Amino acid sequence: MQFDNDTKACAALVHRADPDRFMAAMAAPVAARSVLFPIYALNVEVARAPWVTQEAMIAEMRLQWWRDALREIAEGPSVRRHEVVTPLSRVLSPHLAEKLDEYVAVRRWDIYRDPFEDDAHFDAYIDHSAGTLMVVSAQTLGPADEKVLRDYGYAVGVANWLRAIPELEARGRIPLLDGTTDGVRALAKKGLEKLRKARAARTAISDSARPAFNAGWQADWVLRRAFTKPQVVADGGLSQSEARRRLSLIRLTLTGRW
């Protein structure tokens, strides 16, 4: 697939709004980039939909717009013209387009200020958002076991969630069931366990699907730091230096060992 104007627009959107995933995509082979950028652009649009307005009904409508667009991709034959939806329709299978519906629907939690009900609710949120995004990103590129993808996606999702804690709290959300240092350490430990399980099953991931794993290149470091120093999470202390970020991504792409 070539980089047409729509794909370039998706890449520009990701570059502006999600520089980490932009770096991860740019570290992938060119053919994989043209697949990943529309998916990552969808992630940008869906992730920000609940935050661009304080009117809950308008936010619900924005998310429903994306669910409707994904249904068009899944059912065909016509798809609305849009700089993200159009290139997305060229890379997604009907099955994966349907799977993304749960990914959009779970973001309704972001609209409101209610806390998570329990551990199962939190786990479902991470799995249906970060986990499903990882499943779709990888399986669009090549064969990959869904259980391994969801374990890895959960670890990446928890790492990103912990990094976002200060901003979520500033926006009036209650992001953790247990915000104590013990609670943060337990969550980071769970993420590390999922990461270990995924790594133990590396052979279930094809070489063609592996570039999708670039997006989680910082997860191990973030989760380990949150586990050993949980007190820094509230202060936003889970950011790597620019040099460490780049070197760790280069190491992953050269070795292929995510």
What digits encode the pLDDT tens for the residues 32-53? 999 999 999 999 999 999 999 9
Determine the number of helices (DSSP H) and then strands (DSSP E) in the chain.
12, 0
Q: Is 240 helix (H, G, I), strand (E, B) or coil?
A: coil
Contact 70, 97 (CB under 8 A): yes
pTM for the full predicted model: 0.96
Give the fold, CATH level 3, of 114-258. Answer: Farnesyl Diphosphate Synthase (1.10.600)
List, for residues 169-190, the tens digit of each pLDDT value: 999 999 999 999 999 999 999 9
CB proximity list for 252: less than 8 A, separation 6 or greater: 27, 213, 214, 217, 258
Residue 1 has pLDDT above 60, yes or no: no
Locate CATH 1.10.600.10 in the chain: 114-258
Q: Residue 3 CB: number of other CB atoms within 10 A?
A: 14
Report which of 124, 132, 145, 158 is spatially closest to residue 39, judged by C-alpha positions: 132
Instruction: List, in sequence order, the alpha helices (H) in 76-117.
Output: 85-91, 94-105
Q: How confident is the model at residue 2, as a pLDDT? A: 66
**What's the pLDDT score for residue 108?**
96
